[in-house]
């Protein structure tokens, strides 16, 4: 009975959404805000990747809010999970193939993560994407061998410094330009690594913040004993 009701509900939901979507002309006419961003973002910020230009430039304050949401989630998860007892047993390490594969993958993931963070203003990518890849590098290492633990203090320091530098760049712009997180340092030549003013710096700050946040979350979850005994 419950299954039939749920099936009917999901079917009705899908039908409703499909019927709504059939009325819409996708992408036509183009949204004015998006078209305006496409027109001015290149000359104004000097960033080839307009998504990053909007994320760190025009909507930098939203990104700061987003970082604080992620921080709140990580803090809450740490609070809920609580502290590990010193003598609690750990899971045994994975097999040889898993551990060797993790060791092989770790430097590659770190390099790809750094590349994606540093080139966020030129190619697809940016702080969030690269930060997640950096965190994944540490996930792989810890999951393959749970006896290797992440240094909580170091992670917290990186996280705090990255968050503080993001805000400091914003305040610097406030002093120089009169607007919080306004782009500084000129635009440079589009397509160069050192261009787009403070955008790459903000990208690096976001990448470090997201990466250390997620790595800390992972460390919290993997450090938890599954049961109290």
Selected from 64, 74, 158, 199, the binder of other proteins by CB under 8 A is 74
For the bound state, the minimum distance from the C-beta of residue 109 to other proteins, rounded and expressed in Å, comes to: 17
- Which CB atom, from 64 or from 109, has the smaller least distance to other proteins? 64
Report yes or no: 170 and 60 within 8 Å, Cβ to Cβ.
yes
**Site pattern 160..189 for other proteins (x: CB under 8 A):** ------------------------------
Integer Cα distance of 159 and 213 in angstroms: 6
- Counting contacts by CB under 8 A, is residue 123 touching other proteins? yes
Question: Which of these, 204, 213, 226, lies nearest to 74 by C-alpha position?
Answer: 213
Sign of CA dihedral 159, 160, 161, 162: positive
Query: Binders of other proteins among 11-30, rule CB under 8 A?
Result: 11, 13-14, 17-18, 21, 26-28, 30
Q: What do you get for the CA distance between the two ends of the chain, in Å? A: 40
Residue 91: closest CA among 148, 141, 142, 147:
147
Residues 6+ apart with CB under 8 A from 126: 49, 51, 52, 55, 56, 116, 117, 120, 203, 206, 207
Could you tell me the smallest distance in angstroms from the CB atom of residue 201 to other proteins? 19
Chain residues in the site for other proteins (CB under 8 A):
2-3, 5-7, 9-11, 13-14, 17-18, 21, 26-28, 30-31, 33-35, 37-38, 41-42, 48-51, 54-55, 59, 62-63, 66, 69-70, 72-74, 76-78, 80-81, 123-124, 126, 128, 132, 190-191, 210, 214, 217, 220-221, 224-228
């Amino acid at each position: 009975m419950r299954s039939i009701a749920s099936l009917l509900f999901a079917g009705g939901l899908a039908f409703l959404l499909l019927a709504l979507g059939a009325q819409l002309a996708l992408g036509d006419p183009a949204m004015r805000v998006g078209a305006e961003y496409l027109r001015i973002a290149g000359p104004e910020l000097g960033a080839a990747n307009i998504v990053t230009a909007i994320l760190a430039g025009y909507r930098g304050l939203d990104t700061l809010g987003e970082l604080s949401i992620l921080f709140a989630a990580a803090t809450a998860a740490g609070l809920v999970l609580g502290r590990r007892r010193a003598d609690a047993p750990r899971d045994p390490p994975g097999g040889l193939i898993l551990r060797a594969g993790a060791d092989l993958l770790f430097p590659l993931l770190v390099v790809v993560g750094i590349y994606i963070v540093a080139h966020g203003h030129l190619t697809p990518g940016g702080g969030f994407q690269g930060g997640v890849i950096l965190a994944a590098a540490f996930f792989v290492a810890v999951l393959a061998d749970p006896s290797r633990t992440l240094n909580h203090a170091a992670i917290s320091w990186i996280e705090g410094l990255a968050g503080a530098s993001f805000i400091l760049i914003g305040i610097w712009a406030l002093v120089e330009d009169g607007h919080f997180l306004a782009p500084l340092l000129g635009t440079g030549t589009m397509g160069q690594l050192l261009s787009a003013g403070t955008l790459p710096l903000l990208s690096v700050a976001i990448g470090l913040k997201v990466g250390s946040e997620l790595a800390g979350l992972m460390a919290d979850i993997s450090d938890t004993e599954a049961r109290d005994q």
